[in-house]
Amino acid sequence: MKPLVLIDTPSLYYRAFYSVPDSIVNDEGQPVNAVRGVLDAIAQMIRRFDSPRVVATLDADWRPAFRTAIMPEYKAARVKDAEAGTEIPPELAVQLPIMTRVLRAAGIPIAEVDGTEADDVIATMAAQSRTPVVIVSPDRDLLALIDNATDVSVLRPRKGGEWEAITQTDLLEAYGVPDGTRYRELAAMRGDPSDGLPGAPGIGEKTAATLLSNFGSLESIFKAAKAGVKTGGLSPKRSATLIEEEETLHKTIEVMRCLTDVAHGLDLDSVPREIDRTAVEAAAHGQNIRRSVDNLISALGSADRDSGANTPPQPSVMPTGASAAAPDARVSAAQSPAAPIPGQASAELWSQSRLVGFDLETTGVDPSTARIVTAAFVESAESSRTWLADPGVDIPEPARAVHGISTEFAQANGDPVADVVVELCTVLADLTSEGAVVVGHNIVYDLSVLAAEVTRHQPHIDLPALLPTIVDTFVLDKRVEQFRRGKRTLTETAKRWKVTLLDAHDAAADALAALDISRALAESSEEIANLTRAEIMSAQGEWKRAQAADLQSWLRRKGNAEAVVDGSWPMA
C-alpha cells in the first residue's frame, strides 16, 4: 500500500489564511484564501507521494481540558474570544465548512475526536498504520513523532514553495538529538511562548541539545544537576535553574505528549473513499475555488488508487478549458486544470517544468523606492496577462522615456497599485501551488520592487512564502559565459542567444524574451538544464553571491574603494 499522508489541517489553513491574499472571495464576498491554500497543498502532497491515502485531521478542541488541567496557561495567549474560547478569526471560521465539504466530497476523510487536538489524532493514526506515514505540518511539536522503526516522517513547508522532509536521521543534524523522544525533551527545555510553554530560563535550543547529548535524557540531566556535576554544559547556575524548573518541565513534557489511543473511527486501510462528483460540484459552486477543486480531483485521479480504495481514477471535475471562464482564473487560459503539475517540485528538472515569464516596468531604478507601472506574466506569445497601475506618484520623465507610460495616462487608465499588488501576489501563490517556474531577467530587481510595494500597501502578505521556483536569466547567462565581454542587459542578452525582443521595456515583451532566453540557456548548458528545481534555487543564490563579489572586487580595483555590490537573491 502507498504511504498514509496525515494532514495537520489547522496548521495548513492558518498558514494559508495569513499568506495567501484575502482578496480571493466567493460570490458572497467571503474570503476563501485558506480553502484554496489547503486544497492546493493537499493536491501537491498526493502528487508528491503518488498516494491518494490522505486524511485531513482537525482540532475538535484546540485547548483540551486534559492539557489545561496540567498547565492552565497552555495556549491561553491565543484566545481571541474569551467567552467562546476560540482562537479562530471570524474571516477564517467561515471558510472551514467550505473546506470540509469539499474534502469529504472528494473522498478525503475528516478526522477529529472530541476533547483532542489534531496532533492526538495524527499520533494515534501513526501508531496504528501498517504502512509508512508522512505527517504534513509546519508544527515543530510533531517532530516528536518521528520514528525510523515505524517509518514515520514529517514534511514541513519552507519558503519558495519548497518542502523539507525530516526523518529520524535528520533530527540529529538539524537539532542535535537522536530521536523524537529526545526532541520532545529539547523542546520542553527550549519552551514555546506561543503555546504558553515557558521552558527553562536561559536554556535555548543549542544548550538543550548539548545537555541531552552529554547526559542522554532529561531525567539524567536532572540527576546530574542534583549531584553537583559541573561538566557537560552544567554550570552551577544552569543546574540551579533546572532543579527549580523540574516540575514545570515535567508538566511541559506531559502537555506536549500526544495521545495514541483516540477513537477516530476510521479504517485506515479503506482510505481514500469514493469521490462524490455531484457533491464536489455542489461544494464548489459559487465559492471561487474551482481551479483548486479541480486540481485536487485531478491529483486524486492520477494517483494509484489501488492502495485500499474502492474506485478507479476519476476524471477532472471541470472540462478541459473551463478554467478560462472560471471566476478565479488569474493568469490566462493556459492556466487550465489540464496544465501539468509536477509531482515532486524539488525533484523535477526546472527545464522540464512549466515556465512563466515575469517582468515589471517601474518609476525608477532603486527597488526600495520604485513603484510599479506595468506588469506581466507570460507563458507564450499567445498567452499572457498584463497590468497597468496608477503608481500613486508622478512617473519621472526618464522612466516615461523608457517604457512610454506617462503620469496622466497611468492615472486615467491604471488600477490602484495596491490592488495590482494583491493580484500579482495571488498569481504567484497560484503558480506556486501549480508547480510552475517563474522566469525573469535580473528578476532580483522585479521581486525587490514587488516586495517594497507589498510592504507599502499590503504588509499582511508574506511575499517570500508565496514565491515559486525562480529562474534568473541574468544570473544563468553569467554562469554559462562568465568572461563574455559587453553588457548583460536584456536587449544584449537576447541578441546573444538569438531571441527575438520585439518591444524592449514592454513588460510582456520582456517577460517573453526572458522565457525564451532561459530555454536557450538550458539547451546550451547541460549543467544548468539538469538541475532540479531545488538545486537551481540553491545554485543561483551561490552564483549570484560569487558574481556580486567579483564585480565588487573589480570596481574597487578600478578606483571605487567604497563600492558595494549586493549579492542577495532572489530579492534584496
- 248 inside domain: no
Cell numbers 527545555: residue: 189
Cell numbers 531571441: residue: 499
By residue count, the chain amounts to 572
- 287 shares its domain with 390: no
Each residue of 58-103: pLDDT tens digit? 999 989 999 999 999 999 887 765 554 556 888 999 999 999 999 9
Average pLDDT, whole number, for the chain?
87
CATH of the domain at 383: 3.30.420.10
- 310 shares its domain with 348: no
Lowest mean pLDDT among 323-327, 370-374, 566-570: 323-327
CATH of the domain at 145: 3.40.50.1010
Each residue of 462-472: pLDDT tens digit? 999 999 999 99
Q: Please tell me whether the peptide bond between 272 and the residue prior to it is cis, using omega within 30 degrees of 0.
A: yes
pTM: 0.59
Reported as a pLDDT band with limits 50, 70 and 90, residue 343 is very low
Each residue of 473-488: pLDDT tens digit? 999 999 999 989 999 9
- 445 shares its domain with 396: yes
- 423 shares its domain with 280: no
- 455 shares its domain with 314: no
- 345 inside domain: yes
C-alpha distance from residue 405 to each of 42, 43, 365, 393, 398 (Å): 42, 41, 15, 13, 11
- 383 shares its domain with 316: no
Closest by alpha carbon to 314, among 329, 327, 303?
Answer: 303
- 511 shares its domain with 406: yes
Question: Which residues span the domain enclosing 155?
Answer: 1-178+266-323
Each residue of 10-52: pLDDT tens digit? 999 998 888 777 778 899 999 999 999 899 889 989 999 999 9
- 367 inside domain: yes
Spatial contact of 358 and 440, defined as CB atoms under 8 Å apart: yes
Closest by alpha carbon to 207, among 189, 191, 194, 223?
Answer: 189
What's the domain count of the chain?
A: 2
pLDDT higher than threshold 80 for residue 339: no
Helices and strands, number each (H, E), in the chain = 24, 12
